[in-house]
Amino acid sequence: MGIARIDNLDGKEPMRNVLNTTAVGGAAGIAYSGTNLVMFFPKTFGEAVGRSLTHTATLAMMGAVFGAGTTISASVRGKDDLYNYFIGGCLSGVMLGAKTHSYPIGSGACVGLGSLAAFSKLWHRQGWGPVVPKPTY
């Protein structure tokens, strides 16, 4: 049983969508923690564990908020379009701003993550394919 694709958050099966986006966010947090620990070597084991848990929990929370926001927006609006993804991305950015206690980070992340999510939905809807095409030999 693998993680389902998260490009169809259409308001159906809300718990599955939230769990999937939380899992993707948690996996991204683990990957980020690994690279962060390699680049900025911690002084103690406790610092390494604390930093890893903080990054993983933050990105998992952002994934959960994205999934919930997108699914709730789609079910309330009755449509599956770009605005739902913008709303979900914007809510994730607001949560990042709340974590850092910074209005500029929250508002900037809201616009940035919302735009990125809406563009991702547009990319999948148009069927533009992979960013880097497979090589042909």
Contact 96, 73 (CB under 8 A): no
Question: Is residue 3 predicted with pLDDT exceeding 50?
Answer: no
Question: For residue range 40-83, what is the model confidence (pLDDT) as tens digits?
Answer: 888 899 999 999 999 999 999 999 999 999 999 988 888 888 99
Distance, CA of 45 to CA of 122 (rounded, Å) = 43
Exposure string over 58-82, b if 16+ CB within 10 A, otherwise e: bbbbbbbbbbbbbbbbbbeeeebeb
The angle subtended at Cα 64 by Cα 99 and Cα 91, nearest 5°, is: 55
Contact 94, 106 (CB under 8 A): yes
Distance, CA of 23 to CA of 3 (rounded, Å) = 8
Rounded to 10 deg, the angle between the 82-100 and 103-126 helix axes is 150
pLDDT for 91: 96
Rounded to two decimals, what is the model's pTM? Answer: 0.82
pLDDT for 5: 52
User: Where are the chain's structural domains?
Assistant: 14-126
